Structure 1
Amino acid sequence: MNITKRTARKFIFPTLMKLGIDKFIRNSAKDAYLNLMYHGVVLKDGSYFSPRHITSDQFESHLKYYRKNFDIISISEAFYNIRNNIKPKKKTITISFDDGYKNNFNVALTLLEKYNIPTTFFVSSVCTEDMNLRCLWSDIIAALNYFYKDKVIQLSSYDFKNLFDKEKRVSITELFKSYTYDERERRLKELINAYDLDTKIQSLPEELWKFMSPEEVIELSQSDIVEIGSHGHLHYNLGEIEVEKAKEELVKSKKLLESLLNKEVNLIAYPDGSYNDDIKNLSKEAGYKGQLAVNYKTITDYKDKRIMNRYGLSSTTTYESNMIFLNLAFQNKGVI
């Protein structure tokens, strides 16, 4: 970490918070709604493996701040308000989680219920099925990096070291995102078999990588504060794969989740924030009434009330810097 960033985190952001600058920043923004996004909450810091998860202590400090400073509503309510041009008297946030990690159920939910905070969990519908290894493809890549640091990883014509092929100037993560639907599955199996990744990842704490079981998804959905949305089926970048495969992902995920939960699932958050105008239209045709991005991708998004963007909280910075940047986000990621 460079000295500027370290100084900001240790001195500048805490001082700004003590002076109430966070409130000034928030109130100076014209937009009233902001959608916040997390992936996981863990009991012990897991940044050595993946930056996806925030610690439970950090997360609770966030929740206390939210309860004190914002109105908090569900994403479904936010869509209703925005489509009906209802502007709240107080800055308003929603909270959501992506992917379907087990820690959403056994760590995050307890804290969210403690503070009675409505939350949407966007679940990859592969959670509803039997899985040989209950994890996301990106966590397989993270395991590859963790267990084979500084080693050369061979895949097809590529030679990756610390997940990057210097000669071809491409990361293994970006390569996997560019693969077609079937190619990604084939290459992933090659890596798992060649480097014994299914055994190795299971030697790590489950809270860092394991997905929920069908039973846990059901129990999560039964909480009074929870609504369940789709996050696709196998976490493909829907805007980059074949249109027919993307359509299959959208329809399959909705059907699987609705069958498991015996209730309508009408929200979708796009995996890796990947979509385009065609994907938005396919989602509407599939029956999704609300769509969530990370960053808007098309010029039509800003006036398209089918979709909202979100702001992701960092798991690798301090509480004060997270809260300052969150309030700043009302200016560039807020809605109406």
Structure 2
Amino acid sequence: MVRNFLFHRVNPERDKLWDPMDVALFERCIQYISKKYTVVLIEDIAFSDERFTKNKYATIMFDDGYKDNIQYAAPILKKYNCKASFYVVTDCIDNNIPTWTHVLDYSFQHTNVSEIDLSFDFLPDEFKVNNIPTAEKRIAYGSRLKPYLKKITHEKRGLVLDQIARSYNDIKVPELMMNWDDIKELSAAGHYIGSHTVTHCMLGTMSDETEIKHELLNSANRIQEKLGYFPLTISYPIGSYNDTTKRLSKELGYKIGLAVNQNIYDPAIEDLFEISRIELYNEPWWKTRLRISNALENIKSLIKYK
């Protein structure tokens, strides 16, 4: 049994649509986790028989590759002598452009454009708009749209994202990502660098195997070019995967596939290509602690099946 704790951004600045974990909360998490569990890398423990017999392992993971990972998170990891795995989106690193999910949030928060034609036939009526007149309404609309976009096909999502980018062309996307020197520094410090695809596509929603292979293979090849090894691990963006994702990941040379699933990883039930992770958020400590212990998910399960 292994508790895999997933983080994204760690930052003192707040965000209305996707709030980074506050630095003080992150340190409290790492202090608590390192005291309660033996912190290891999933790349070191995944193939060990000890994962079946020892119930005190935990891992620390980061998805995406944001600059605040090295600015704020890495010093805290060093303070508590913890190694972490960082799964990077290689195009985002190469071009210093955040993931599409962050760009989407940023666009709705910072544009001054009211007109936007989102009259796609496949969108529900609530999302078919041609004008969102105020900043407050744009933020509210964006908060509803993003979860829906995660449920539709890769192709349809792309059409909507392209239209939003064309309409909200008054914004300048912020430069928030690590560069390869940052990533090499993390690797030299003993952290592991793995793949989070080329462009942060939701692999489980993609139907074109050539495109899926591009996302999987080109990201790994870029890491190999920069760091000298083909990564063991693919972290599926937004936890999206299916049997095709798993098969192609294996065929292309990965050894580990990371989902989310908000649960403890049990090797007796899950295979190495759908490893569960527990994502932690910027929440009150009592709620974060319930997530760490997995009590929150157990409570939800009891309520669901009551």
**TM-score, reference length from structure 1:** 0.74
Q: 1:258 to 1:197 in 2, by over 3 A?
A: farther
Q: Distance in 2 between matches of 1:79 and 1:329?
A: 24
TM-superposed CA distance for 1:164, in Å, is 7.2
Aligned to 1:141: 104
Q: Distance in 1 between matches of 2:187 and 2:256?
A: 18
Aligned to 1:4: none
Q: Give yes or no for the alignment of 1:112 onto 2:77.
A: yes
RCO greater where, 1 or 2, for CA within 8 Å and sep 6 or more?
1
Q: Distance in 1 between matches of 2:228 and 2:269?
A: 33
Gaps of 5+ in 2: 121-127, 263-267, 299-306
Moved over 3 A (4+): 148-153, 160-165, 183-190, 329-332
Aligned to 1:21: none
Instruction: Point out the more displaced range, 119-128 or 143-152.
Output: 143-152
Gaps of 5+ in 1: 1-31
Q: Distance in 2 between matches of 1:38 and 1:212?
A: 15
1:180 paired residue among 154, 171, 176: 154
Q: 1:305 to 1:91 in 2, by over 3 A?
A: same
Q: Give yes or no for the alignment of 1:310 onto 2:277.
A: yes
Q: Does the CA-based 8 Å contact 1:163-1:173 persist in structure 2?
A: no
Q: 1:172 to 1:96 in 2, by over 3 A?
A: closer
Aligned to 1:195: 168
Q: Distance in 1 between matches of 2:42 and 2:270?
A: 18
Aligned to 1:290: 256
Q: Distance in 2 between matches of 1:267 and 1:105?
A: 20
Letter in 2 for 1:147: H
Q: Does the CA-based 8 Å contact 2:195-2:234 persist in structure 1?
A: yes
Aligned to 2:240: 274
Q: Does the CA-based 8 Å contact 1:265-1:288 persist in structure 2?
A: yes
Pairing 1:1-336 to 2, within 5 Å after superposition: 32-42=1-11, 44-51=12-19, 53-81=20-48, 86-88=52-54, 91-129=56-94, 131=95, 134-147=97-110, 153-157=116-120, 158-159=128-129, 162=138, 171-175=145-149, 178-180=152-154, 187-196=160-169, 198-199=171-172, 201-202=173-174, 210-224=176-190, 226-244=191-209, 245-295=211-261, 302-315=269-282, 317-328=283-294
Q: Distance in 2 between matches of 1:259 and 1:285?
A: 20
Aligned to 2:301: none
**Partner-residue secondary structure (3-state), 2:199:** coil
Query: Aligned-residue CA RMSD in angstroms?
Result: 3.1
Instruction: Point out the more displaced range, 70-79 or 140-149.
Output: 140-149
Letter in 2 for 1:77: D
Q: Does the CA-based 8 Å contact 2:6-2:60 persist in structure 1?
A: yes
TM-superposed CA distance for 1:325, in Å, is 2.6
Q: For each residue in 1:164-204, what CA deviation from the matched residue of structure 2 results, as whole angstroms up to 9, or x when unmatched? A: 77xxxx725533663535x65565344234223542x44xx
Q: Does the CA-based 8 Å contact 1:45-1:54 persist in structure 2?
A: no
Q: Does the CA-based 8 Å contact 2:4-2:278 persist in structure 1?
A: yes
TM-superposed CA distance for 1:141, in Å, is 1.1
**Partner-residue secondary structure (3-state), 2:3:** strand
Q: Distance in 2 between matches of 1:61 and 1:303?
A: 30
- What percentage of aligned pairs have identical amino acids? 29
TM-superposed CA distance for 1:80, in Å, is 1.8
Q: 1:330 to 1:162 in 2, by over 3 A?
A: closer
Q: Distance in 2 between matches of 1:330 and 1:34?
A: 14
Q: Does the CA-based 8 Å contact 1:232-1:253 persist in structure 2?
A: yes
